[in-house]
Structure 1
């Protein structure tokens, strides 16, 4: 059994991890000697990705030795535990490599529920090159921090008509048989932008965008986003409408538009 920790202490730890990550990633961002290799799935990984995840794993081993861990770069440790942390050291590695500032460290904490289901209870998204951070914990709301200022409580928009909606996405890759439906959905919205990755979903949480959609994602891409969007009043699900970050893809909405988006894509 895992030791019992308060949500407050779990969130505090998530923010500690975010600060550790920021120090490492910003020291390597725009570095001329950045080391880039290719993983077996043909995606790039940098020395900054690896160093960040290693540092976060080391910190967690000290602070939460009984918790499990799922990381993008070094796999799973004790995922069968009652609780496990989910880490993407750099979401947006290609942006990081090219000097585009839209990348972030994603940190989530998943807890097994009494009915056997799993739920993300804490999430932190830290984008130091944008001078932004978002975080949330179950039933305590979602917050954004800009330029290390005071936390600001955030909430999704109240847009209820698809014709008035703003939609964000990464690109048209990975939509496969749903591509035509997705493009039709975009055409119904008043505004569309390819912000991509974590950024689209955090803009939904802030109420600046109403829909964010990604057709192919891993758990570490979504865990932190899920709880932040939910605590801001939004809905996070996969393309089939199953809520949570466990379905292989991700749709964030302001909740009011979720059924419309699901109908359009299915």
Structure 2
């Protein structure tokens, strides 16, 4: 599988640069950090794709590119969780998606310091490899928000980009709330460890692989308005049974 080989290329670079004393860091215009590892990963993956899939387009967080509504486009996030990477935390991953005519058909998430890799392809199910081996994964069977385990993000991001009231209402409706953040909470939904993940602000490269991963695991993925898309600027992944109830909470609270 090409996506797996691309992830291997990325893991070789990221693990070598993790906690490197000479790591180069700069701030992008939106004040988010980017390291030399981010750009090195994206350049290396693009090089492989140029050699093996020269007709495919590529869009990445660091080097740009767009236009995934038609044809085949690889969407790359070389390091999702760069702030964790910078601080020496293990929760970061390389995200790779293949989008065909606007729909993600392959998703790959590789988190080498967690020892975990998740992947899915359309019609082939969702999979996880960790220290216990390789297995097919599926979402949970929780059917009530009052029993649901929710992961979401910083309150200030909801207040700025969506609705503080919607954030509080969804939290209040659920049994338990944590903030696993970034790629991880969507992956945890896919493997059934939690039931909902909600984000008020995302970029396409943050969640393109999550759309196919969560849906192939039996769940649902949309933006916070309920549109099935990875480029809507927000994200809600669920086990499927809770999706409409969560959307209704968000809508009724002004989200």
TM-score of the two chains, using structure 2 as the length reference: 0.95
1: CA distance, partners of 2:66 / 2:170: 40
Once residues 89 and 62 of structure 1 are traced to their aligned partners in structure 2, the CA distance between those partners, rounded to angstroms, is: 19
Q: Would the alpha carbon gap of residues 78 and 252 (structure 1) be closer, same or farther in structure 2, given more than 3 Å must change?
A: closer
Take 2:172 and 2:67, find their aligned partners in 1: how far apart are those partners?
A: 45
Please say if residues 68 and 99 of structure 2, whose CA atoms lie closer than 8 Å, have aligned partners that are also in contact: no
CA distance in 1, matches of 2:70, 2:221: 24
- 1:173 to partner: Cα distance: 2.5
| In the alignment, structure 1 residue 137 sits paired with structure 2 residue 113 | no
CA distance in 2, matches of 1:68, 1:184: 40
Per-residue deviation, 1:126: 0.2
* Secondary structure of 1:84 counterpart: strand
Give SS of 1:248's match. coil
Structure 2: unaligned runs, 5 residues or longer = none
Out of 143, 159, 171, the residue aligned to residue 160 of structure 1 is 143
Unaligned stretches of 5+ in structure 1? Answer: 1-11, 113-117
Secondary structure class of the residue paired with 2:157: coil
Match for 2:158 among 171, 175, 181?
175
Of stretches 47-56 and 243-252 in structure 1, the one that deviates more from structure 2 is 243-252
Residue 75 (structure 2) pairs with residue 82 (structure 1): no
Q: What's 1:91 paired with?
A: 80
- After superposition, the Cα gap between the structure-2 partners of 1:263 and 1:78, relative to the gap in structure 1 and judged at 3 Å, is closer
Q: What is the deviation of 1:187? A: 1.6
Asked if the contact 2:68/2:100 (under 8 Å) is kept, the reply is no
Aligned to 1:115: none
**Contact 1:35–1:47 (CA under 8 A) maintained in structure 2:** yes
Equivalent residue for 1:197? 182
2:93 aligns to what?
104
TM-score, reference length from structure 1: 0.91
Q: Does the CA-based 8 Å contact 1:68-1:80 persist in structure 2? A: no
Residue aligning to 1:4: none
**1:141-152 alignment runs, 5 A limit:** 141-147=125-131, 150-152=133-135
Q: Deviations over 1:133-154 (max 9, x none)?
A: 000000110000003x632100
Pair 1:71-2:60 in alignment: yes
Aligned pairs, number: 249
Whole-angstrom distance in 1 between the partners of 2:93 and 2:58 = 19
SS at match of 1:27: helix
Report deviation, 1:82.
Answer: 1.0
Alignment correspondent of 1:39 = 28
Structure 2 residue aligned with 1:186: 171
Query: Which aligned pairs between 1:17-32 and structure 2 lie closer than 5 A?
Result: 17-32=6-21
**Superposition deviation, residue 170 in structure 1:** 2.4
Q: Deviations over 1:223-242 (max 9, x none)?
A: 01110001000111001000
Give how far 1:171 is off. 1.4
The separation in 1 between residues aligned to 2:98 and 2:221, in whole angstroms, is 16
Taking the aligned partners of 2:70 and 2:172, their CA distance within structure 1 comes to 44
